[in-house]
Amino acid sequence: MWAAVGLLAIFLSTILVTAATDAVHPPSHMETVDPGTLANNLEFANPGLTVRPDGSTIVTVVAQMFSFAPDPIEVSANRPVTFRLTSPDVMHGFEIVGTNANAMVIPGYVSQFTVTFKNPGEYIIGCNEYCGLMHHNMVGKLIVREEPK
Ligand SMILES: [Cu+2]
């Protein structure tokens, strides 16, 4: 029994340590959107990037069978990037491989998170929720450019 208690303590401390040191967050943003009228939605009808005066970027993304829009997404390194994601059809995933950016994209909801990419380069965006026959082809690209001077 003490071995089981010890394992639980190890698992719990692993969660707490990674949450504190690796910026792992539980989901906290709660916002709904009508998936049936995305085409008329001011924000999601034209998914894309908005760069704010302070250099931070908002990226509005629509994930649908079997692609992400916009694709590719181009952002600057070392600037906060807020992703706002939704889906008009089924549940998708949005994982930027090699980073801690990873969210579920659920019809009817806006998933939002903010990340800062330190390393310029090209990253693969993968759907990690099975969404249909061509799920394995649902990939996008993120290009992180050097920080503008
Ligand atoms: Cu998928």
pLDDT digits (tens, 9 = 90+) for 81-113: 999 999 999 999 999 999 989 999 999 999 999
* 68 catalytic per annotation: yes
In this prediction, residue 116 has a pLDDT band, given cuts at 50, 70 and 90, of very high
Is the pTM higher than 0.75? The answer reads yes
Helix (H/G/I), strand (E/B), else coil: 147? coil
Two tokens, residue 16: 């707490």
Instruction: Say how many Å lie between the CA of residue 118 and the centre of ligand 1.
Output: 27
- For the ranges 28-37, 39-48, 121-130, the lowest mean pLDDT is seen at 28-37
* 47 CA to centre of ligand 1 in angstroms: 19
The yes-or-no answer on residue 66 being catalytic is: yes
44, 68, 83, 94: the catalytic one is 68
- The one-letter code for the residue type at 60 is T
Please give the residue that has the higher pLDDT: either 20 or 28: 20
Q: What share of the chain is helix, strand, coil (3-state, %, to 5)?
A: 20, 35, 45
Cα(58) to centroid(ligand 1), Å: 23
Quick one: tokens of 123? 């990253």
In this structure, the number of other CB atoms found within 10 A of the CB of residue 18 comes to 12
* Close Cβ partners of 25 (under 8 Å, ≥ 6 residues apart): 19, 113
